[in-house]
Amino acid sequence: MPPLPLPASRRAFLESLAAGSVAWLLSARARGQAPAERKLGIALCGLGNYARGQLAPALRLTQHCELRGVITGSREKGQAWAREFGFPEKHIYSYATMARLIDNPAIDIVYVVTPNSLHAEHTSAAAWAGKHVICEKPMANSVADCNAMLAACRANRVKLSIGYRLQFEPHYRELKRLAREQDFGPFRKMTGGLAFTIRQRVWRIEKAMAGGGPLMDIGIYCLQAACMAADTSGEAHPTFAPVAVQAREHPKQRPDLFRDVEEGLDWRMEFANGATGEFTTSYNGGMDKFRAEAEKGWYELAPAFQYGGLKVTTSKGPPGVGMPPPSQQAVQIDDFARCVKEGRESPVSGEMGRRDMVIIEAIYRSIAQGGRRVEVKV
C-alpha cells in the first residue's frame, strides 16, 4: 500500500514537540535529572494472546518504558486495558485512526502484534505518525513488504526493531560469545528443530494472514539460532546470512486442515565458511532443540526456544551463563527503549527481519523447485 498521507498539521506539531522537548530538557537539567531517565510510552497495536499473555506482564517489569496506550479493533477491549494499566481512554486508537498518534507525545513507541499480513500496514502507519516501532516476528509476509516498512521508517526518521526476544536471552548471548571467541573452534554443524501440534483452524495456518506455515511462525527461531552460531563476529550482524538453502516439504497428514500452507518441512543452510545447518519445523509433532558442533566441543539447548526454562549442556559441562530474566520480552523491549533514548540502532533491526524473510523466501522457492539448491542474496 502507498504511504499514508501526512496530516497538514505535521510540521506545526513537530515544531511544537521540539519546543516542548527543549523546555523539558532544561527543566530536567534544573532538577538534576538526565533526560535518559524518562520512561518512554508504548502503545500495543493488537491485543491478542501474545499481547495479553507475554507483553502485558513484560511491560509491568520494564525499567525504561511503560504501557500508555493501545490500538485495537475493539473499543471495549481497549477500555478494559485502560482501566487495568491506568492510561486515559483518549489513548485508545482503532486501526483506522492510527494517524492521530502524531498528536500524542505521551506515546513514543508502537509495538505491532497483529497477524503477519498486517505488519507492513501497521508499521508504516506508526512510522508516518512519527513513532518508533517494534514489530513482532516474522517482520512481514514478503521481502517487498519488509522493504516498504524500512522505507517508511527511514522517511520518518524513526527506529524499527523486530521482536527477536532470544537475542537477549543469556543462553543465546553465550552462544554468540562462543561463536565470536571460538572456545570450541568455529561452529561447523548446527542441527535441531521446533514443532508442536495445531488441531484446529487458526489464522496461523491461513496463508493470506500468516504468509506460510510453521516456518514463518516457529521455524524462524531455528533460522535465527543458526545465523548466531555461524556468525563468527559474535554480534548477530543484521545481514549475515547463509549463501544457499535446500528444503523439502513433509507429506501432509491432515490436508483438510493445512490447505494452503505447509504442515512441516526440513531445510538445510550453507554458510560461506563451510558451516551447515539442518533443521525441521512442523505443526504436527513435538520438538524443541538446537545443537551447534565445532571441532573442539558442542553446545546444546533443549528446550531451546521457549519463553522460559531453557536448558543448556556443553561438551565442557554447564556454562557460566547468567540467571534467566523473569521476562525475555521485558529485556527485549527495554533494550529498544534504550536505543531510542541513546540514538543507537537496535541489534535486532528491521534489516535483520528483512534478512530472515529473504532466507524464508529462498526456502519456499527450493520447495517449489523440488528441493533444488537455491542461492540466498540478501
Residue 5 gets which letter from DSSP? P
Q: How many C-beta atoms lie closer than 10 Å to residue 73's C-beta?
A: 12
8 Å CB contact between 294 and 188: yes
DSSP H/E element including 188: strand 187-195
* Low-confidence residues of the chain: pLDDT under 50: 1-34
Q: How many C-beta atoms lie closer than 10 Å to residue 220's C-beta?
A: 24
pLDDT digits (tens, 9 = 90+) for 334-355: 999 999 999 999 999 999 999 9
> In the CATH hierarchy, which fold is given to the domain comprising 10-25+39-165?
Rossmann fold (3.40.50)
For residue 235, what pLDDT is reported?
Answer: 76
Sign for the pseudo-dihedral over CA of 7, 131, 51, 363:
positive
Cite the DSSP H helix spans in the chain. Answer: 10-30, 49-50, 56-59, 75-85, 119-128, 143-155, 170-181, 207-210, 214, 220-230, 328-342, 350-368
Distances (CA, A) of 301 to 194, 288, 311: 12, 8, 6
Which listed residue (93, 111, 137, 364) is catalytic?
A: 137
pLDDT digits (tens, 9 = 90+) for 59-85: 999 999 999 999 999 999 999 999 999
Q: Residue with C-alpha cell 517487498?
A: 144
Rounded to whole angstroms, how far apart are CA atoms 355 and 226? Answer: 13
Class of domain 170-324+348-375: alpha beta
DSSP per-residue string spanning 310-346: --EEETTSS--PPPPPS-HHHHHHHHHHHHHHHT---
Rounded to whole angstroms, how far apart are CA atoms 106 and 91? Answer: 9
How big is the chain, counted in residues?
378
Instruction: Indicate the burial class of 322 (C-beta count within 10 angstroms; 0-12, 13-18, 19 or more).
Output: exposed
For residue 7, what pLDDT is reported?
Answer: 34
Three-state DSSP at 64 gives coil
Pairing relation of β-strands 374-375 and 65-71?
unpaired
Return all residues near 107 (Cβ < 8 A) that are at least 6 apart: 41, 42, 43, 68, 69, 91, 101, 131
Q: Is 111 a catalytic residue?
A: no
Strand partners, 256: none
Q: Give the up-direction half-sphere exposure of residue 260: CA atoms within 13 A in the CB hemisphere.
A: 10
Q: Residue with C-alpha cell 532443540?
A: 289
Domain ranges of the chain: 10-25+39-165, 170-324+348-375
Which listed residue (93, 111, 172, 221) is catalytic?
A: 221
Q: Is 221 a catalytic residue?
A: yes
For residue 185, what pLDDT is reported?
Answer: 97
